[in-house]
Amino acid sequence: MSPTTDHRLRVSRDWSTRLLDLLFPSRCVNCGRPGAALCADCLATIQPISSPTCPRCGNPLSSPDAVCFDCRAHPKTITQIQSVCWHDEVARRAVHALKYKKRRDVAPELARFLVAKLAVSELDIDLITGVPLYPVRELERGYNQADLLAIHTANARGLAYKRVMRRTRATRDQIELDAAARRLNVKNALFADEQQVAGKNVLLVDDVATTGATLEACASALFQARARGVYGLTVTRPRPGN
Ligand SMILES: [Zn+2]
Ligand SMILES: [Zn+2]
Give tens-digit pLDDT for 69-95. Answer: 889 898 899 999 999 999 999 999 999
- Nearest ligand, CA 36: 1
pLDDT band at 140 (very low <50, low <70, confident <90, very high): confident
CA of 67 to the centre of ligand 2 (A): 5
The H-assigned helical ranges of 27-164 are: 40-44, 69-73, 89-100, 106-120, 135-141, 145-157
Does residue 82 sit within a domain?
Answer: yes
Does residue 54 sit within a domain?
Answer: yes
Does residue 18 sit within a domain?
Answer: no
Rounded mean pLDDT of 132-150? Answer: 89
Rounded mean pLDDT of 30-44? Answer: 93
Contact 145, 111 (CB under 8 A): no
Of 230, 75, 100, which is closest to residue 165 (Cα–Cα)?
A: 230
- Nearest ligand, CA 41: 1
Does residue 22 sit within a domain?
Answer: no
Rounded mean pLDDT of 110-121? Answer: 95
Q: Give me the domain span that covers residue 95.
A: 44-237
- Nearest ligand, CA 32: 1
Q: What is the rounded CA–CA span in Å between residue 92 and residue 238?
A: 9
* 5 pLDDT above the threshold of 60: no
Does residue 39 sit within a domain?
Answer: no
CA of 11 to the centre of ligand 2 (A): 42
Does residue 106 sit within a domain?
Answer: yes
CATH number of domain containing 114: 3.40.50.2020
Does residue 37 sit within a domain?
Answer: no
CA of 42 to the centre of ligand 1 (A): 4
CA of 68 to the centre of ligand 2 (A): 4
Does residue 127 sit within a domain?
Answer: yes
CA of 36 to the centre of ligand 1 (A): 8
How many structural domains is the chain composed of? 1
Quick check: pTM over 0.85?
no
CA of 43 to the centre of ligand 2 (A): 28
What 3-state DSSP class applies to 228?
coil
Q: Kind of pairing, strands 190-192 and 165-167?
A: antiparallel
What 3-state DSSP class applies to 140?
helix
